[in-house]
Amino acid sequence: SRPILDMSYSRHFLDFQGSSIPSSMKKLVVTKLSQNFREAVTLQQDSPVPLPGDGDLLVRNRFVGINASDINYSAGRYDASVKPPFDIGFEGVGDVVALGLSASADYTVGQAVAYVKAGSFAEYTVVPARQAVPLPSVKPEFLTLMVSGATAYLSLKELGDLSEGKKVLVTAAAGGTGQFAVQLAKKAKCHVIGTCSSDEKGGFLKSIGCDRTINYKTENVESVLRKDYPEGVDVVYESVGGKMFDLALNALAIKGRLIVIGFIAGYQNPTGLQPIKAELLPAKLLKKSASVRGFFLNHYLSDYKMALQQLLKMYERGDLVCEVDFGDMSPEGKFTGLESVFRAVDYMYMGKNIGKIVVELPHSVNSKL
C-alpha cells in the first residue's frame, strides 16, 4: 500500500505532507556566460515546477552544495555547446514528493534522496531514479559526500597508491574535499600535511588527524616543506593551482605523484587559469621519475556508486567527519534560501569555509507541521 503518485498521467498531485505542490518555484539560471557568478546567474521567481517522467523522481531540495566549479559552469567552461539560459547547481539532498510509475518500483513519496545532477539550485529538481541515492534521512552531512567526498575517495584510490608511512600533502585541506583527503590518507596510515589559511582551520585539521598543518598566511610553505620533509612528499592532493602547484611540484619525492583535482586560484580569472612554471615540468618530472595526474569525477562514474556506498558506511559507523559550513560566521549569517547561494559562492572564494559549504532551502510546508 505504498503511496504511488503516478506523474505520467496526472498533472495534479499532492506531496506526502498533504500540501499542494506549487505550480511555480524559484531557481537559479545562468543567463550570461561569465566567471563572475553574480553577473552570470539570475534568480528566477516563477519558473514552472518540472514534472517527472516515467522513470523520474521529483525532489524537493532541502540542502544544496556549493562547489568551486560552480563558476566554471556559469562561465561555460565544461561544455561549449551549452548556451544560456541553463540551470546550475551540481548536487542536492531532499525528499521525493512525486514520481513516475516505473520509478515507483524502487522509490516512494517521502523518501530521502541525494543526487548529483545539474540544476540543483532550485526548489524542485527532476532526478532520474537511477541517478538518485536513497538515504536514511535528509541530513546535510550526506551532501558533503556526493561530489567532495567521492572526488577524494576515487582520486586517492585510483591515482594515489597510498600505503603506510607515505607522506601526503593536501592543499586547501580544510575545504569541502580537502577534509576527506586528509581523513582517507590517515586511514591508509599515511603521514598527512595540510595547508590552510587560518589557525582555526589548522585546529580543525588537527582534530581530524592531520599530522602537520601549515598556515600559509603565517608560515612559508616552501621553507616548511624543505626543512621538515627534505626527502619530499610522496603524494600531493592539489586543488589550488598557481603558485601552490609550483610549490607542490617542487616538493615531490622520487617517484612522487601529484594529483590535480582543481585549481581554484585561477577560476575567477577570465581564462580560468593562473600561470604556472610549466616550462620546467618535463625536466622536474624526469629528474624525480615523478608524475602529475588529473582527476575529473565525471570520468569515474562507473565506480561512483561503490565509492559513495563506502563513504556512507564510514560516516554511519562514525569513522568519517563530514564538516558542513552553513556560513553562520559570514557577515550576513547562515546561508538560507536560494538568494543566499550568491553569498555562499563569494564566501568560498574568500577562503572562509571550514568543510563543505551548504545552503539550506527552507520550505513553508514545514512550518505547518
Residue among 71, 78, 127 at smallest CA distance from 98? 127
The reported pTM is 0.93
Give CATH 3.90.180.10 domain extents, the chain.
24-138+323-360
- pLDDT band, residue 79 (cuts 50/70/90): confident
Distance in angstroms (rounded) separating the CA atoms of residues 15 and 96: 8
- Could you tell me if 175 and 149 are in contact, meaning their C-beta atoms sit under 8 angstroms apart? no
CATH code for residues 24-138+323-360: 3.90.180.10
Residue among 361, 359, 366 at smallest CA distance from 144? 359
Of 1-15, 120-134, 172-186, the least confident = 1-15
The CATH H-level superfamily of 146-299 is NAD(P)-binding Rossmann-like Domain (3.40.50.720)
What are φ and ψ of residue 275, in 5° steps? -60, 145
Angle at 242 between CA 196 and CA 35, to 5 degrees: 95
Which secondary structure element, helix H or strand E, spans residue 310, and what is its range? helix 304-317
DSSP string, 145-188: IIIIIHHHHHHIIIII---TT-EEEETTTTBTTHHHHHHHHHHT
Give CATH 3.40.50.720 domain extents, the chain.
146-299
Eight-class DSSP state of 270: T
Cell of 133: 541515492
Q: Residue 7 above 90 pLDDT?
A: no
Cell of 98: 512525486
Cell of 258: 601529484
pLDDT tens, position by position, 275-291: 999 899 999 999 999 99
pLDDT tens, position by position, 89-131: 999 999 999 898 889 899 998 999 999 999 999 999 999 999 9
Residue among 201, 167, 159, 204 at smallest CA distance from 321? 204
Residue among 268, 285, 265, 287 at smallest CA distance from 276? 265
Cell of 302: 562507473
